[in-house]
Amino acid sequence: MSNNQFKNLRKLFEENLNEQLFEQEADIELLKPMMYSLQTGGKRLRPTLLLAVLYIYGSKKIKLGMKTAIALEYIHTYSLIHDDLPAMDNDDLRRGQPTSHKQFDEATAILAGDALLTEAFGLIAEDDQLKPKQRIQLIQELVSASGAHGMVAGQIKDLQSERREISLDELKEIHSKKTGRLFSFSIDAAAIILDLDADVRGELSEFGRHFGLAYQIHNDLKDLTGNQELTGKSGNSDEVNEKNTYPYLLTTKGAVEALADEISQINQIIKKLEKDTGKPFSFLKEFVSYIDVTQLAKELNV
């Protein structure tokens, strides 16, 4: 499997997402802002990660996870819309495009987010390729990852930490809830859909956990290089939050080392998964291939 196949997986996801949106018979006033935010790109990391694990078990498995992958992107997208609101991070741009409340208005952005959040659960519930019991498990996991014990909890903790300096443990907790849990869901969802046994599930969860952490440290370091083009954000929120980042708490050098360590652990887990299952798990390396620690260290002079 190659980088091309990774791109194909993302393309396949986007095709299915668009199809799904055309099938939605929601009123155009609501469908427009939903589509706007769903279609302003992004790397589609979460759904592609889910589909990639299915692909590792055979290309026929991919379609079993498509609705769940779309649901996951709905949840991720609603969280971006609400996070960008003036009362929250107050961002005008997202991926280089006007945020939802800038493109439409605040009320529309709030409601588009609410609609995406609600419909996400509908997509999983209606997916008759899966057994009712699997759908229930997926919904429970998604609630746990994104609700009052997951993403939303992380978001409120993050907001409340804005005006004070936090500890490394607190930062880890915030990121684990705010972004880590949803990455873990990508992996856990694949395990539920594939009916994998507990051992493999455990290893996969570990992969998800380390992947989420690597993703966040990399983001923080990337922000330091100040490359707006790459992050596509206007940066308002980062100024406020600059102290509560890995580079600030670990030093830049420390954060680069922590990132290198996460990548190395991810590679070890992949090797172990490949050995234990006989499946080509090395494909998952694609998901960290965009992280170039050596290059990053050079750019940041550490």
For 301: left if phi > 0, alpha if psi spans -120 to 50, otherwise beta; the answer is left
The count of chain residues that interact with its own copies, using the rule CB under 8 A, is 49
Q: How many CA atoms lie within 13 A of 30 on its CB side?
A: 13
Residues 18-37 that bind its own copies (CB under 8 A): 24-27, 29-31, 34
Residues 109-148 that bind its own copies (CB under 8 A): 110-111, 113-115, 117-119, 121-122, 125-126, 131-133, 135-136, 139-140, 143-144, 146-148
Q: CB of 104: closest distance to its own copies in angstroms? A: 10
Backbone angles phi, psi at 147, to 5 degrees: -95, -140
Q: CB of 135: closest distance to its own copies in angstroms? A: 6
Sort 167 into a burial class: Cβ within 10 Å, 0-12 / 13-18 / 19+. exposed
Site string for its own copies, 39-68 (x = CB under 8 A): ------------------------------
- Under DSSP, the state recorded for 99 is -
List 98's β-bridge partners, or say none. 93
Do 119 and 74 contact (CB within 8 A), yes or no?
Answer: yes
Q: Which is nearer to its own copies, 115 or 217 (CB)?
A: 115
Write the DSSP string, 36-53. Answer: HHHHS----HHHHHHHHH
Q: CB of 84: closest distance to its own copies in angstroms? A: 11
By the criterion CB under 8 A, which residues form the site for its own copies?
A: 24-27, 29-31, 34, 78, 82, 85, 87-88, 105-108, 110-111, 113-115, 117-119, 121-122, 125-126, 131-133, 135-136, 139-140, 143-144, 146-149, 152-153, 155-157, 159-160
